[in-house]
Amino acid sequence: MIVPTIEGDAIRLRGYRPDDLDAVAAGLADPLTQRFMPSLPAPFERRHAESFIRTAAPEAFALGGCAYAIADPASDRLLGGVGLVSVVPARQQAELGYWVAPHARGRGVATAAVRALTGHAFTAAVARLELLTHWENAASQRVALATGFRREGVRRGAAANRDGGRDDLLAYGRLADDPPGPTERLLPDLPGGELTDGVVTLRPLTGDDIGFYTELHTLPDVVATIVPPVPPGSEEIRRRCARAPAHWLNGDRADLVVVDTASGAPAGSLGLFYQEPVTGQAMIGYSMLPAFRGRGHQTRAVQLLALWAFAETGIARLVAGTLPDNAGSQRVLEKAGFQREAFLRSRLPGVDGRRSDDVQFALLAEDLVREAAGLDR
């Protein structure tokens, strides 16, 4: 069959050809591709690539979808693949998927390909496109947001994994009449990937931080400040670390590691929870390893985060709560410019059905300016 060519921004979508065989075999055998496309044969061999080019790709078109090769318009070298599956004509709906060869990653290939195919689909009577991605596939989520898809929810157990279980998938959607351009993010990336004042450095929490996060969040005095005060299990910690980038991209929370800049060692954690975007209010929480307490690291970290939040997001008000007897945490907040606003009786759930009081502090942008200028001293 003749597959029409679709021109995109520095990419071209064309049909697969026999001379793509080696590139397809290498790209779909790549460990990262295999991780997030568990339906692929493992190991993915040359015979599987032959079957894909000869049979699976043409069948996609026969079923009302498509399977395009992403190619470099200058060299025609294969860069990856993009296509539409799960077509529901009655709903004018389809699901979009893509993969990028290792040598072509980090160049905007997937974003350009998704834009090109999305535009083509919407001119061909498609009214709605869906894009499903694993929690831990932050790169794919970035492509979705960059191409105007909006996160709509979580599909529980939507995909079988290689261990015999099922994985949840994040669901993104785009309508034909959605405005052009990327989806606005409530929490942008940190400038240069981190924040620092030369003494402490804040960087995003990732799946590589499981060991540190376990050490910190199983300390008895740290557990006592968790709501409820129950130590997280190993699987919960793994999910928190692995899914932290997805939460940041979704704009509901930003989890950071506080690093001692001099030693490069993780010293604590700091979280921003964007609980009320409508009112511009977010909450922060923090913990510090014993070896780094008493050095002012936590105050510096809170100030860095507050400066970024007020300057780069729509957050107008930061709040934080402490247990009434947690004098150390209260000092951190006061030194960072927060003001005590309320004593909330029996607000927090505890153990054995008991509840704890909560002391509430708040910080506004103007408070931070006064603190920095030393006007409150």
User: Could you list the pLDDT tens digit for every one of the 377 residues in the chain?
Assistant: 788 999 999 999 999 999 999 999 999 999 999 999 999 999 999 999 999 999 999 999 999 999 999 999 999 999 999 999 999 999 999 999 999 999 999 999 999 999 999 999 999 989 999 999 999 999 999 999 999 999 999 999 999 999 999 999 999 999 999 998 999 999 999 999 999 999 999 999 999 999 999 999 999 999 988 888 899 999 999 999 999 999 999 999 999 999 999 999 999 999 999 999 999 999 999 999 999 999 999 999 999 999 999 999 999 999 999 999 999 999 999 999 999 999 999 999 988 888 999 999 999 988 877 766 664 44
* Residue 180, both tokens: 């052009």
186's CB contacts (< 8 A; 6+ apart) are 251, 252, 274, 277, 313, 314
- Please give the Cα distance from 126 to 14 (Å, whole number): 20
User: What DSSP string describes 188-256?
Assistant: PPPGGG-EE-SSEEEEE--GGGHHHHHHHHTSHHHHTTSSS--PPPHHHHHHHHHHHHHHHHHTSEEEE
- Phi, psi angles (nearest 5°) of residue 2: -95, 120
Residues 263 and 295 sit within 8 Å (Cβ to Cβ): no
Query: What is the side-by-side strand order in the sheet with 150-160?
Result: 6-7, 12-14, 66-71, 78-88, 93-100, 128-134, 166-175, 150-160
The architecture CATH gives domain 6-175: 3-Layer(aba) Sandwich (3.40)
- Please give the Cα distance from 362 to 339 (Å, whole number): 5
Angle between helices 297-312 and 365-373 (to 10 degrees): 130
Please state, in angstroms and as integers, the Cα–Cα distance from residue 332 to each residue in 300, 315, 336, following that order.
Answer: 9, 20, 6
- Please give the Cα distance from 10 to 27 (Å, whole number): 20
Question: Looking at the chain, which residues constitute the CATH 3.40.630.30 domain(s)?
Answer: 6-175, 191-373
Please state, in angstroms and as integers, the Cα–Cα distance from residue 337 to each residue in 105, 142, 279, 294, 362, following that order.
Answer: 43, 34, 21, 18, 9
Whats the size of the chain, residue-wise?
Answer: 377
169's CB contacts (< 8 A; 6+ apart) are 132, 133, 134, 135, 154, 155, 158, 159
Name the 3-class secondary structure at 276: strand
- Please give the Cα distance from 297 to 222 (Å, whole number): 16
Determine if the peptide bond prior to 245 is cis (ω within 30°).
no
Scanning the structure block, which residue is given the tokens 């511009």?
A: 280
- Phi, psi angles (nearest 5°) of residue 261: -60, -40
Residues 3 and 15 sit within 8 Å (Cβ to Cβ): yes
- Please give the Cα distance from 367 to 313 (Å, whole number): 17
| β-bridge pairing 317-322 and 281-288 | parallel
CATH number of 191-373: 3.40.630.30
Residue type, 147: T
Residues 205 and 213 sit within 8 Å (Cβ to Cβ): yes
- Please give the Cα distance from 117 to 114 (Å, whole number): 5
Residues 234 and 213 sit within 8 Å (Cβ to Cβ): no
Residue type, 269: S
Residues 116 and 69 sit within 8 Å (Cβ to Cβ): no
* Residue 212, both tokens: 């540190």
Residue type, 31: P
Would you state the pLDDT for residue 114? 98
91's CB contacts (< 8 A; 6+ apart) are 127, 128
The pTM of the full predicted model, rounded to 2 decimals, is 0.94
